[in-house]
């Protein structure tokens, strides 16, 4: 009896002293569902991103014209607007359509003008009616935040915005990559920490690229999701409380330090390519290098907000997607391949 109690105490002591894993391992996804793609918008070229807004497919373009609009159901062309330039209402480079909301009957797109360091809100509804890009509002950032590199910014709630910055080069805030919440009613902001990957030896320029993330928000604007490209980690923050959950995808260990020469010679693989979310799920587009099933094909992994595996959608061919979005009303994924300069629709 004494030996039993002693053994039990040792077991309890071992469990209580064992380090707690700071992330949840997400593995053992269900059997993949095969999906086939159909090429769409064949007359377009240099498509940067694509979003579904009601019955419309809105495309951002990496060329002189910035936006193109189609009927999503029959792919009929509707119009183009917005120009690249330095004049009023113009952008000096293309942008990605990461954040579109509906407010007071208007569809608003928040885009990040990285050259001017000034986020802008596009009135998509008015722009579509007039076929002319209409700016709803410019967002002036606090000086100390503006002096960093703002990679992403999203609507959070009225007068509040959430996003990601990198301060590795300019060293005006924290000296690394992190998140921020900006309250424009007071012009005050607070930052929160993200996992920062390192190179050995240390190289700030390489670490800037090593820490590349895909960032999106939940449809209700209450959560922000970060997906690291070079290690299969997804970080989810509640915007109000800043409580955090980390999910490690199809891996048992988290690598945080990388050999500088390996990274500079493209020997550090990309795992996660893009991410989108709905009210119930997070969808992760994986690299073909991370596929356990088809070595030349990408997959979309679906998991709940609690990290529970829900589904795998396996492409039947090597589409090389760089961007995707989901249209839950028609049960379709829409994807863009930058290298092939093509857009696709996948029914599921």
What pLDDT, on the 0 to 100 scale, is given for residue 292? Answer: 47
Mean pLDDT of 17-40: 85
Assess whether pLDDT exceeds 80 at residue 4. Answer: no
Average pLDDT along the chain: 91
pLDDT tens, position by position, 330-346: 999 999 999 999 999 99
Token pair in block for residue 50: 């694509």
Q: Is it the case that residue 140 has pLDDT exceeding 70?
A: yes
Rounded average pLDDT over 317-341:
94
317: confidence class by pLDDT, cuts 50, 70, 90? confident
Global pTM?
Answer: 0.91
Q: What is the pLDDT of residue 293?
A: 43
Please state which of the ranges 204-218, 234-248, 285-299 shows the lowest mean pLDDT: 285-299
pLDDT (average), residues 152-179: 94
Per-residue pLDDT tens over the stretch 220-266: 999 999 999 999 999 999 999 999 999 999 999 999 999 999 999 99
Residues 6+ apart with CB under 8 A from 176: 166, 167, 168, 196
Q: Tokens 């760089």 — which residue?
A: 322
Q: Which residues contact 100 (CB under 8 A, 6 or more apart)?
A: 51, 53, 58, 107, 108, 109, 110, 124
Q: Output the pLDDT for position 21.
A: 62
Q: Domains of the chain (ranges plus CATH)?
A: 21-46+140-347 (2.120.10)
pLDDT per residue as tens digits for the range 114-126: 888 899 999 999 9
Q: Which alpha helices (DSSP H) does 203-267 contain, by range?
A: 204-210, 260-264
Backbone angles phi, psi at 289, to 5 degrees: -70, -20
In the 8-state DSSP scheme, what is residue 167?
-
Minimum mean pLDDT range among 15-29, 53-67, 133-147: 15-29
């Amino acid at each position: 009896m004494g030996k039993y109690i002693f053994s039990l105490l040792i077991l309890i002591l071992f469990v209580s002293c064992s380090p707690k894993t700071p992330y949840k391992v997400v593995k053992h996804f269900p059997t993949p569902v095969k999906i086939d793609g159909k090429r769409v918008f064949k007359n377009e070229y240099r498509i940067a991103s694509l979003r579904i807004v009601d019955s419309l497919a809105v495309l951002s373009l990496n060329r002189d014209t910035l936006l193109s609009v189609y009927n999503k159901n029959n792919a009929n062309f509707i119009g183009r607007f917005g120009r690249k330039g330095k004049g009023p209402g113009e952008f000096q480079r293309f942008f990605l359509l990461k954040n579109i909301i509906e407010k007071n009957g208007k569809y608003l797109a928040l885009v990040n003008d990285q050259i001017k360091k000034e986020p802008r809100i596009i009135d998509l509804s008015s722009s579509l009616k007039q076929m002319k890009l209409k700016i709803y509002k410019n967002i002036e950032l606090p000086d100390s935040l503006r002096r960093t590199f703002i990679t992403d910014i999203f609507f959070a709630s009225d007068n509040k915005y959430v996003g990601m910055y990198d301060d590795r080069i300019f060293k005006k805030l924290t000296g690394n990559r992190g998140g921020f919440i900006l309250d424009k009613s007071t012009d005050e902001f607070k930052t929160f920490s993200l996992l920062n990957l390192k190179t050995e030896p240390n190289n700030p320029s390489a670490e800037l690229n090593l820490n590349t993330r895909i960032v999106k928000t939940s449809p209700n604007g209450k959560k922000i999701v970060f997906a690291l490209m070079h290690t299969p980690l997804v970080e989810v923050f509640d915007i109000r409380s800043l409580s955090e959950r980390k999910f490690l995808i199809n891996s048992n260990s988290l690598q945080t330090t990388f050999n500088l020469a390996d990274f500079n010679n493209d020997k550090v693989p990309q795992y996660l390519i893009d991410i989108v979310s709905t009210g119930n799920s997070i969808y992760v587009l994986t690299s073909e290098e991370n596929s356990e099933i088809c070595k030349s094909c990408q997959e979309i992994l679906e998991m709940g907000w609690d990290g529970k595996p829900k589904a795998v959608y396996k492409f039947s061919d090597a589409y090389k997607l760089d961007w995707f979005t989901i249209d839950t009303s028609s049960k379709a994924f829409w994807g863009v391949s930058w290298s092939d300069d093509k857009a696709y629709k996948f029914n599921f």
